Structure 1
Amino acid sequence: MTTDAIYILDDEFELVKANHRIFAIHYSTYRENIFFRQNWERRLSIFNEDTPCYWISLKGNRIGGVSIEPNMISSLFLLKISDLSKPIHAFGILPYQTEHFFRLGFLPSEIRRVMMRPTELFESQELGEELEVVTPTSEHTEKISELLLESYSGPDSIGYSGENTMEHQRSALEYYFKNNNSDILTAASSLVIDKSSNAMVAVCLISLWEEIPLVSNIAVIPRYRSNRIASKLLRRALTVLNGEYEVLRLFVTIGNSAEALYYNLGFYPGLEQTTFQLIPRSC
């Protein structure tokens, strides 16, 4: 039994439509600050009037909340409003919640976390005579797309959470250059070129997410790895940003070899978040 404002699950549990602002206040109070959001209003603003917010009610008493819509939930599985012919995705599941999803037949597809580090002034990060650092621009979109496609292929695909195709990489870069064009973000970003072949071998793109700098993308093609290029590009970004921003954040997929690099550079890890998927099964 359902209405626009309520989902009756059984004799005891209900989902009751919530005001998005009040829901956001409770969410921000009781759920871990996994993204290191440092501004209260920023934490509240992730929910708007279009966000499907519901209170979890037990015998008329509010015991929690969930953002839910057909085939997608943030923290609770609800079968009755989903299309069982399609996969159901559950995002942002915290470690103490994963057991319940395993019991219901969900399987993890990705585990990620946010990491954060204070900006800092480092000495000049030289890459050697053969490599040159230039400023990435939208004119480099096609070549950077090729670099990213190569960097995230095969076993290295764990380092990229999206679909690794030229079309997807090109689209993501077009969005990046359109929305991250302030002087300091441009100065903190790097594109590494091998002067002998004019080939692009590494890139580090810095964006702004929730008013705090974010490593939008960092990649080095396989044959140029083990030369500490990525760590030098990150130190360069931390140095440039230090004059205006206090911290730098990034997302990392658990199991990605780059995770050790971030730890060694002093990035502090936030709580793990797992994405689960329930695949339709024929009876």
Structure 2
Amino acid sequence: MQQYDLENGYLLIRAEKKLFAAYQTLYSNADTNLFYDWQMRLSDTLWSDNGFFLVHNNQKLGGAILHKNEVLFPFLIPPFCDRAMFYRQIQRALLMWRDPDSTELFVRNGLDADVEILLTLGYQRTARSRRGMIRPTDHYDVCLPAGFYEKPVSVEQSAAIANLLNQAYKGGINEQVFGPLTEADIQADIERLMATNTSDVSSLVYDAKTNLLVGACLAGVDPETVNCFAGIGQVGVLPQVQNRGLGIYMILKALSKAYYYSPAMCLFVTVGNPAESLYRHLGFIPGPCFTQMRFQLA
């Protein structure tokens, strides 16, 4: 059993993979991907041989995967609750083991409880916090608002959809965090939905007077989705036709169509995006927030 001395009696002990996976799954209490699946939660960490327990006086206090200059899947083990001490010791280990050419340390998918502590230790956010949201699929009797019509989603529409969504997201959090979407991004999304024959969950909405594409919702079942959960990947409406019920219509339609394929619908949202209030209004419940953090070495 490999162990490494840190300071003041703290040790890092390399963990057996299955034991580490069980501890991390239970004590992180953070199903950030909304798997709702024990085996998939375990598989989050089974890929790595670098799971470690932080130990003091023969008592496990917490653990994390330490991979080069990164901390992944951190957790504390009750009754230990000193998150600042935990991260100080983990950072000490990273400083000893990091690639000498690296000038940065990272905490991947840090939880909300960690952010303020990491900021006091000199870390900075590399992106806005995000969270998953989920709700059951169900039957809804929905009608497209007057003055609009629909067409099926197709790969040939990828450029037009990307242009629409970039206009819908312009100046908002999505644009700030992810930058503009490309035709290739949208084409890949549509092809994944077509691979499961669930592209009918999506919507393309056009203005009846101008024949202009004014709303899009890319939704369905991704081939790699756990538990066959459906998902909404993109949804947006042009600014000039917002507040006319198109967003609500497209999401309720997605929930109704997805009912025949999946028990639940997931999506991910950047914290602070006004769309989150709409998702909550439509019955989506939030999962835990997660954030990427970076420490710049002198």
**What is the CA distance between 1:128 and its match in structure 2?**
1.8
Change beyond 3 A, Cα 1:119–1:15: same
What is residue 122 of structure 1 aligned with on the other side? 140
* Change over 3 Å in CA distance of 1:180–1:56 after alignment to 2: farther
Equivalent residue letter for 2:178: E
Q: Distance in 2 between matches of 1:135 and 1:51?
A: 46
Report the CA distance shift for 1:197/1:42 in structure 2 as closer, same or farther (over 3 A).
same
Is 1:138 the counterpart of 2:151? The answer is: no
Consecutive unaligned residues of structure 2, counting only runs of 5 or more, are 75-86
Given the alignment of the two structures, is residue 245 of structure 1 paired with residue 270 of structure 2, yes or no? no
1:145, 1:262 → 2: CA distance? 22
Per the TM alignment, residue 205 of structure 1 is displaced from its structure 2 partner at its CA by 1.2
Aligned pair 1:23/2:20, yes or no? Answer: yes
Task: Please list the CA deviations of residues 246-273 of structure 1 after superposition, one character each: whole Å capped at 9, or x if unmatched.
Answer: 2111111111110110111111112222
- 1:182-229 deviations in Å (ceiling 9; x for gaps): 565211111122243333222111243323112111122222211121
CA distance in 2 between counterparts of 1:261 and 1:26 reads 35
Matched residues in 2 for 1:205 and 1:236: separation? 11
Other-structure match for 2:53? 55
| Inter-partner Cα distance in structure 2 for 1:163 and 1:244 | 29
Shift of the 280–127 alpha-carbon distance from structure 1 to 2, 3 Å rule, reads farther
Which residues of 2 match residues 25-44 of structure 1 at below 5 A? 25-35=22-32, 36-44=34-42
- Residue 116 (structure 1) shift: 1.1
Equivalents in 2 of 1:7, 1:141: separation in Å? 52
Supply the distance in 2 between the matched residues of 1:125 and 1:15 (Cα, whole angstroms).
Answer: 59
CA distance in 2, matches of 1:62, 1:214: 38
SS of residue in 2 equivalent to 1:136: coil
Alignment of structure 1 residues 65-214 onto 2, 5 Å: 65-74=63-72, 75=74, 76=87, 78=91, 79-80=94-95, 81-82=97-98, 86-108=103-125, 109-129=127-147, 131-154=148-171, 156=172, 158-159=173-174, 163-166=178-181, 169-182=182-195, 185-206=198-219, 207-208=221-222, 209-210=225-226, 211-214=228-231
Question: Shift in Å at residue 150 of structure 1?
Answer: 2.2
Counterparts in 2 of 1:73 and 1:221: CA distance versus 1, 3 Å: farther
Question: TM-score scaled to structure 2, two decimals?
Answer: 0.80
Segment of structure 1 superposing worse, 201-210 or 70-79: 70-79
2:243 matched to 1:226? yes
Q: Give SS of 2:234's match.
A: strand
* Identity level (%): 23
Counterparts of 1:89 and 1:148 in 2: how far apart (Å)? 31
Higher helix proportion, which one?
2
CA distance in 2, matches of 1:216, 1:228: 19
How far apart, in 2, do the equivalents of 1:37 and 1:53 lie? 21
CA distance in 2, matches of 1:72, 1:223: 44
| C-alpha distance in structure 2 between counterparts of 1:113 and 1:64, whole Å | 23
**TM-score, normalised via structure 1 length:** 0.84
Q: Which moved more, 1:199-208 or 1:44-53?
A: 44-53
Residue 256 of structure 1 corresponds to 273
Q: Helix, strand or coil: the match of 1:196?
A: coil
Aligned length: 273
Q: Distance in 2 between matches of 1:34 and 1:254?
A: 17
Which segment drifts farther, 71-80 or 241-250? 71-80
Quote how far apart the aligned CAs of 1:139 are.
1.5
Write the letter of the residue equivalent to 1:88. Answer: L
Distance 1:236 1:51, change over 3 A: farther
CA contact (8 A) 1:115 1:267 kept: yes
Counterpart code for 1:159: N
Tell me whether 5-14 or 135-144 shows the greater mean CA deviation.
Answer: 5-14
